[in-house]
Amino acid sequence: MAELKKIKGKYDFLGTASPSLTYRVHSNKGMGAVLLRIRTRQGVSQQHVADELGVTQAMVSRWEAGKATVDLDILGNWLQLLDVSYQEKKMLMRDAQRISEMANISSRNKSQMLTIPEYNVSASAGGGEFVGFEEVVEYHSLPEKFLPDTNHDRTGIVRINGDSMYPTINSGDYVVVSLTGRFYEDGIYLIRIDNSVYCKRLQRRIDGLFIISDNPAYSEMQIDSDDSEDFQVLGRVVLTMKKH
């Protein structure tokens, strides 16, 4: 059993074997430090460990530096190779299991990033702009969790001009639009009227579909059946990105 020296609440290993049961490992860096300490005190080279475990010396170096998580099976063989006692091996394997579980939780919590195109449409919240979805201006990366239940292949970003949707959407803001091409519930939509694109609120009432501005200075409009050729729903706004 290694002799211990307590320094500022932490334990330093002075023996030639393995760490004491009083030492707990909480991270890849901590596990790597323990493995490095045991190996060097026993005079075993990284290359020897690598050969015995069937991995590269560079991989052993990454594990000892805490830059990668050691597979539990490999760690068990490693500790056996270094002649670690049963009780100390049990402790380190338990800590390694906890580190692995925390890494998995952290990985699940990290959102996958989506690449969303910004189109050359300047949608109006006021006077209207010419339609032009054929050109992509640039691409933006957004966390997937910001766009739940959205068909990401039919999603685009459009810049808003005008103040008719103020204070919900300001002039210069960007909106992420699910380009479904249909109305399915009340909400804010990107719509086409003649050859201009607008960002407006759509609301279904008993007497028809209404185009509404959140800014009370603008009047609402009703869509009649005769307007079907001049009116088109392009998509529903699923996210607003405020300008800086």
Give per-residue pLDDT as tens, 175-190.
999 888 888 899 999 9
Per-residue DSSP letters for 4-29?
Answer: EEEETTEEEE-SSS---TT----SHH
Task: Report the candidate in 8, 68, 7 with the shortest Cα–Cα distance to residue 35.
Answer: 68
CA–CA separation, 122 vs 112, rounded Å?
28
Contact 210, 203 (CB under 8 A): yes
Outline which parts of the chain fall under CATH 2.10.109.10: 113-241
| pLDDT tens-digit map of 60-94 | 898 899 888 888 888 989 988 888 888 888 888 88
User: What amino acid is encoded at 68 in this protein?
Assistant: A
- The overall average pLDDT reported for the chain is 78
pTM for this model (two decimals):
0.53
pLDDT of residue 115: 84
How far is it, in rounded angstroms, from Cα 103 to Cα 129?
49
Q: Which residues contact 231 (CB under 8 A, 6 or more apart)?
A: 191, 192, 193, 223
Is pLDDT at 214 greater than 80 in this prediction?
yes
pLDDT band at 24 (very low <50, low <70, confident <90, very high): low
pLDDT of residue 188: 95
Evaluate if residue 11 carries a pLDDT over 80.
no
Q: Which CATH architecture has domain 4-109?
A: Orthogonal Bundle (1.10)
CA distances from 77 to 29, 35, 50, 117 (A): 19, 12, 11, 49
CATH code of 113-241, in short, is 2.10.109.10
- Reduced to 3 states (helix: H, G, I; strand: E, B; else coil), residue 181 is coil
212 membership: H or E segment, kind and range: strand 208-212
Residues of the chain with CATH 1.10.260.40: 4-109
For range 154-161, the mean pLDDT: 88
Output phi, psi for 38, to 5 deg: -65, -45
Per-residue pLDDT, averaged over 217-225, amounts to 86
